[in-house]
Amino acid sequence: MKHRVLIVEDNAANRELLSDWLEAEGYDVLTAADLKTAFSAVENQHPHAVLLDVQLGADDGLQLAHWMRRQARFQHLPVIAVTAHAMVAEESRILQAGCNGYVPKPIDFRQLRESLERCVAASGMASSPD
């Protein structure tokens, strides 16, 4: 069975780029363009990992990570933040939100591959109820 990765990204071109790449890497892909859709995808579509754009239009994408870390069932679901701001302040904000790591934009796909493999291996398939 393939691992499912949820892409939360408001920019359609970035969403498509990530989606194509993840599919080529052998993942099943779920997408959400806004926070509301992302909350519902996490609850109902059982992703094994979440790729989270920090700047989600007018919203702070990290709200999703904060929320997940407060739910027992999503507490250990891996979240990798994607950020355009590779600053120390942004990094600590990302880690404080409970993300497992982050990759800066423009995305280094080799780094993303390593982060994803590490996260998915650590979480195993335990997060999937089906």
Using the rule CB under 5 A, which residue among 10, 25, 34, 60 binds Mn ion?
A: 10
Locate 114 and state its tokens. 């390593």
- For residue 37, give every residue at least 6 positions away whose Cβ sits within 8 Å of its Cβ, in sequence order, or none: none
The answer to the question of residue 90 lying near Mn ion (CB under 5 A) is no
Shortest distance (Å) from residue 28 CB to Mn ion: 23
Shortest distance (Å) from residue 65 CB to Mn ion: 15
Shortest distance (Å) from residue 55 CB to Mn ion: 4
Comparing CA positions, the residue from 107, 113, 37, 48 lying closest to residue 74 is: 48
Task: Report the C-alpha gap between 75 and 39 in whole angstroms.
Answer: 14
Report the amino acid identity of residue 115. Answer: S
Binders in 49-78 for Mn ion, by CB under 5 A: 53, 55
**Range in contact with Mn ion (rule: CB under 5 A) among 4-12, 19-27, 64-72, 122-130:** 4-12
Residue 102, SS3?
strand
Shortest distance (Å) from residue 61 CB to Mn ion: 7
Q: Which residues bind Mn ion (CB under 5 A)?
A: 10, 53, 55
